[in-house]
DNA sequence: TAGGGAACAACATTGAAGTA
DNA sequence: TACTTCAATGTTGTTCCCTA
C-alpha cells in the first residue's frame, strides 16, 4: 500500500550516479561522501605507484579536484570507483615519470642514513587494547609493507589492486591496460616473491596493510572541499 | 648468442548459483 | 541436500623479446 508521500532517500543509500548528480550541483555532503567512500582505495593505488605517503595524499587530492571539476565527463558507463581510480593512476604514473631521474639517488641517501631500506608506511595501527599486541601488529604490518615496497613496480601495482583492493582480474587489467592473463601472471609472481620474503604466519595481516582512515582521511576530505570552495566563481 | 624476465595459452581448481 | 554447471581465478609450461 502506498501512502503517496515522497520519501527522500538517505545520502548513504544513494548510488554512484545519484551522488554524482548531487555533486554536480555542488552538494557538499555528496562530495564529502564520495571522498569518504573512495579515499582508501585511491590512496592505496597512488601509494602503490609512488611509495611515498605524502605524495600519494597529494595524488588523492588532485584526483578529486580533477574529478569534481570535470564531473560532466562521468557518464556512468563505468563505476565511479573505476573512473576515479583511473584518474588517480594516471596522476600517480605521471608524477612517477617526472621524478624518475632522482628516485634512485634519494633511495640511496635514505639507505645510507638509516642503514636499511626506508620504512615508508607510518604505523597507524589501532592502539586500543593490549599495547604489546598493538606493537606486534604494527611490526608485522611494517614488515609486510616493506616487502610489498620491494616488489618490482608492475608486480606491486597489480598486487595492490588485486589482493589489497580486491578488484577483479578483469577490472585490474582494464585499469592498467593489460590482458587479464598478464594480470594473473604478475599477481602469481608477486605473491611468490612475497612468500619468499615473509613468514607464512604473516599472511593474515595482509588486509590491514596501507591503512587509510581517521585523521588522514578526514584531513584530505576537508582539504579538497576547501580547495573546491576557493575555485568557486 | 645465451640467459632471464615478461607475456601468452592451456589446463586445473574453486566456489557460487541453480536444480532435481 | 547432493549434484551439476559455469564463471572466475590460479598454476604452469611455452614462446617471445630484450640485454649483456
What's the pLDDT at A166? 66
What pTM, to 2 d.p., does this model score? 0.62
Taking the domains of chain A in order of start, what are their residue ranges?
Answer: 11-101, 131-231
Fold agreement (A11-101, A131-231): no
Q: Which three cell numbers stand for residue A186?
A: 604478475
Q: Could you tell me the end-to-end alpha-carbon distance of chain A, in angstroms, rounded to an integer?
A: 47
Distance (Å) from CA A26 to C1' B17? 42
CA distance A149 to A143: 10
DSSP single-letter state for residue A198: S
For chain A (233 residues), the mean pLDDT of every run of 10, in chain order, is 51 78 88 88 82 86 90 78 83 70 35 30 41 69 71 73 70 69 72 62 48 69 74 62
Within 7 Å of a protein beta carbon, the nucleotides of strand B are: 6-10
CA distance A105 to A107: 5
Domain over A11-101 is classified CATH 3.40.50.620: no
Distance (Å) from CA A178 to C1' C18? 19
Domain covering A131-231, topology: Arc Repressor Mutant, subunit A (1.10.10)
Whether the Cβ atoms of residue A143 and residue A202 lie closer than 8 Å to each other? yes
What burial class does residue A12 get, using C-beta atoms within 10 Å of its C-beta: 0-12 exposed, 13-18 middle, 19+ buried? exposed
- Count how many residues are written for chain A: 233
Task: Report the phi/psi class of residue A214: left, alpha or beta, with left for phi > 0 and alpha for psi in -120 to 50.
Answer: left
What's the pLDDT at A172? 73
What's the pLDDT at A218? 76
Nucleotide nearest to A155 (CA to C1'): B6
User: How far lies A230's CA from each of A28, A136, A182, A226, in Å?
Assistant: 13, 44, 43, 6
For A210, phi then psi, to 5°, come to: 55, 55
Q: Which three cell numbers stand for residue A224?
A: 579538497
Distance (Å) from CA A171 to C1' B16? 20
Amino acid at each position: 500500500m502506498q501512502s503517496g508521500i515522497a520519501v527522500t532517500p538517505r545520502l548513504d543509500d544513494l548510488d554512484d550516479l545519484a551522488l554524482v548528480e548531487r555533486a554536480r550541483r555542488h552538494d557538499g555532503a555528496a562530495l564529502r561522501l564520495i571522498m569518504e567512500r573512495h579515499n582508501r582505495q585511491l590512496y592505496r593505488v597512488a601509494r602503490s605507484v609512488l611509495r611515498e605517503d605524502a605524495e600519494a595524499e597529494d595524488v588523492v587530492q588532485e584526483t578529486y579536484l580533477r574529478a569534481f571539476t570535470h564531473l560532466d565527463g562521468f557518464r556512468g558507463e563505468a563505476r565511479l570507483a573505476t573512473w576515479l581510480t583511473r584518474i588517480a593512476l594516471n596522476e600517480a604514473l605521471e608524477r612517477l615519470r617526472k621524478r624518475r631521474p632522482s628516485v634512485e639517488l634519494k633511495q640511496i641517501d635514505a639507505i645510507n642514513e638509516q642503514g636499511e631500506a626506508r620504512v615508508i608506511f607510518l604505523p597507524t595501527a589501532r592502539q586500543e587494547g593490549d599495547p604489546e599486541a598493538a606493537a606486534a601488529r604494527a611490526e608485522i604490518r611494517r614488515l609486510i609493507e616493506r616487502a610489498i615496497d620491494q616488489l618490482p613496480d608492475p608486480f606491486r601495482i597489480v598486487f595492490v589492486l588485486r589482493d589489497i583492493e580486491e578488484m577483479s582480474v578483469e577490472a585490474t587489467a582494464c585499469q592498467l591496460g593489460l590482458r587479464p592473463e598478464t594480470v594473473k601472471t604478475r599477481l602469481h609472481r608477486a605473491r611468490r616473491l612475497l612468500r619468499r620474503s615473509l613468514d607464512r604466519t604473516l599472511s593474515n595481516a595482509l588486509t590491514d596493510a596501507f591503512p587509510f582512515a581517521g585523521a588522514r582521511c578526514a584531513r584530505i576530505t576537508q582539504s579538497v572541499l576547501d580547495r573546491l570552495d576557493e575555485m568557486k566563481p
